[in-house]
Amino acid sequence: MADSLTLEVADLEVDVLTGIYSEETGKPQPLRISVTAELKPADHYAPDTPLDASKNYMELKFAASEALPAGVHFKLIEAVADHICETLFVADERVQRVTVKIVKLAIAEAGEKIGMTLSRDRR
């Protein structure tokens, strides 16, 4: 079995222009976004291993927040997840797989988590 390294950022709350219904369009909706990125790990991580032997976790946060284009309306949250995946693939060739989970907070009525998860391998 091959070694793997999974970096994670969980439960970011981000306002995104998304939705297909009239009550959803024109105003940002709060989304809870979690991102995992799988990389091939180094052979060993010593106490003084430099950051470039892994990946800065803040890049995952950036892809799920600031890298989402301002003013762009995503009809589907799947498109939001796709954009996050592509942002991470373009930024670092070591990223082999990205999983994005998105929960639409505005449509929950009793605390349920309504959303989707997209997992994409580098092509």
pLDDT at 91: 94
What pLDDT score does 111 carry? 82
Name the pLDDT band for 115 (thresholds 50, 70, 90): very high
For residue 87, what is the enclosing H or E element? helix 77-91
Give me the chain's average pLDDT, please.
93
Domains of the chain, by residue range, sit at: 5-43+51-121
**pLDDT above 90: residue 24:** no
Using one digit for the tens of pLDDT, what is the confidence trace for 61-85?
A: 999 999 999 999 999 999 999 999 9
Most distant pair of Cα atoms in the chain: their distance? 54
Residue 22 has pLDDT above 90, yes or no: no
DSSP state of 92: -
Q: Which fold has domain 5-43+51-121?
A: GTP Cyclohydrolase I, domain 2 (3.30.1130)
74 compared with 26, residue with greater pLDDT: 74
Q: How far is residue 97's CA from residue 8's CA, in Å, rounded to a whole number?
A: 12
| Integer Cα distance of 97 and 80 in angstroms | 16
Closest CA to 80 of 102, 107, 51: 102
Mean pLDDT of the region 6-11: 97
Q: CA gyration radius for the chain?
A: 16
C-alpha of 83 from chain center:
8
| Residue 108 and residue 96 in contact, taking contact as beta carbons nearer than 8 Å | no
